[in-house]
Amino acid sequence: MNSMKTKIFLSFSCALLVIYGTNTRVQAQYIKTRTENVFLVLVDGLRWQEVFAGADSALMNKEHGGVENIDALKQAYWRDTAEARRAALMPFFWHVVAKQGQLWGNQNRNSVVKVANSFHFSYPGYSEMIVGYADTAINSNDKRPNPNVSVFEWLHRKPRFKNKVAVFGAWDVVAWIVNRERSGFYVNVGIEPVTHGKISAEQNLLNRLKKDVPAPWGEEPYDAITFYAALEYIKANRPRVFWLTFGETDEFAHAGRYDHYLQAAHRTDRLLQTLWTTLQSLPPYRNKTTLIVAVDHGRGGTTEDWKHHGTKYPGSDNIWIAILGPDTPSLGERTNTAPATQSQIAATVAAALGEDYNASQPKAAPPFVEGIKVSRR
């Protein structure tokens, strides 16, 4: 090989190393992974600050956090170190995910994850998460059918996932975000009864509770009702691709109740543990399932702005992501990582299943190549 060819070869090799070692786009097809099922969970409006540092002392008071029983809240969630506080608040995250999976988004450790959309509120964030890119036309929370095809709809069109995709959302707008009328898979939102597939006795009871228990936020019930309806559906119908959205953390934050916000985060962590434990107890899911947990937007970072989000509140674009599953190296809390975006989640869902979403949707961001270890054909 002459010197010129050697230089060209070395330059090409270096380019490949850059492409495969970072989050830039990769067009190659993926091979079969150990993951056969993917569950994506969205926790609306939960700040990265609490996920990685636990309770914030500046908000554990009446003035800034609307806290009614400060001593009880401190007893439950205050500890001397950030590591101890976050484990008290979210033990599943820090005793399971941090040991067996990966977490991104602790800006204090140079792990930055942001939304790509310019609005920093829910519909644009939900949409970005599942379609893989920000759409400037998605600029409100209005109930308008999403014109963009989500990764769930794209997977549902494939024979091996046909009728194996489902979405359960606490927020009723989720039905429009996934464009229920067009998508073709089962979508259950808000206080709607579950009417699809096998209906267990427990599901019938949950349907009655959805009807008879007052919903605190219009058509949005407490997360536990959405969660257990989803869990019964999972046990009865065995979906392979599933999106579950929670809403309490955002609702209680907007209300300025830091005590209720922390309690909601703690409950969410417990529900995630129940989901993971249930999946690992069922043969179709055991050691074959990847769980991705993420947030649609951040919140303001000050004692006044933590209740709000949007472009007027600095920090609202800062988010976090967690991944746990058979194809995710056990690297725990990530530090000094390349900047990442929410828009990478859609392709990551597909990549975990051995599918190349980017090949069909070139506008989508690439997957988290460190979060889902895949080989190329």
- pLDDT, position 27: 41
User: Over 90: is that where the pLDDT of 347 sits?
Assistant: yes
- pLDDT, position 369: 85
Answer whether 0.85 is exceeded by the pTM. yes
Residue ranges of E strands in the chain:
37-43, 102-104, 113-114, 165-169, 186-189, 241-246, 289-294, 318-319, 321-324, 332-333, 340-341
- pLDDT, position 21: 36
User: Over 50: is that where the pLDDT of 3 sits?
Assistant: no
Q: pLDDT tens-digit profile of 82-118?
A: 999 999 999 999 999 999 999 999 999 999 999 999 9
Per-residue pLDDT averaged across 150-164, rounded?
98
- Residue 217 per-residue DSSP state: B
Report the C-alpha gap between 260 and 253 in whole angstroms: 8
More confident residue, 27 or 216: 216
CB atoms within 10 A of CB 343: 23
User: Over 50: is that where the pLDDT of 8 sits?
Assistant: no
User: Over 80: is that where the pLDDT of 20 sits?
Assistant: no
Domains and CATH numbers, the chain: 30-360 (3.40.720.10)
CB within 8 Å of 315: residues ≥ 6 apart:
298, 299, 300, 301, 305
User: Over 50: is that where the pLDDT of 18 sits?
Assistant: no
- pLDDT, position 29: 57
Per-residue pLDDT averaged across 172-185, rounded?
98
Per-residue pLDDT averaged across 321-326, rounded?
98
User: Over 90: is that where the pLDDT of 148 sits?
Assistant: yes
Q: pLDDT tens-digit profile of 222-255?
A: 999 999 999 999 999 999 999 999 999 999 999 9
- pLDDT, position 224: 98
CB within 8 Å of 18: residues ≥ 6 apart:
24
- pLDDT, position 335: 97
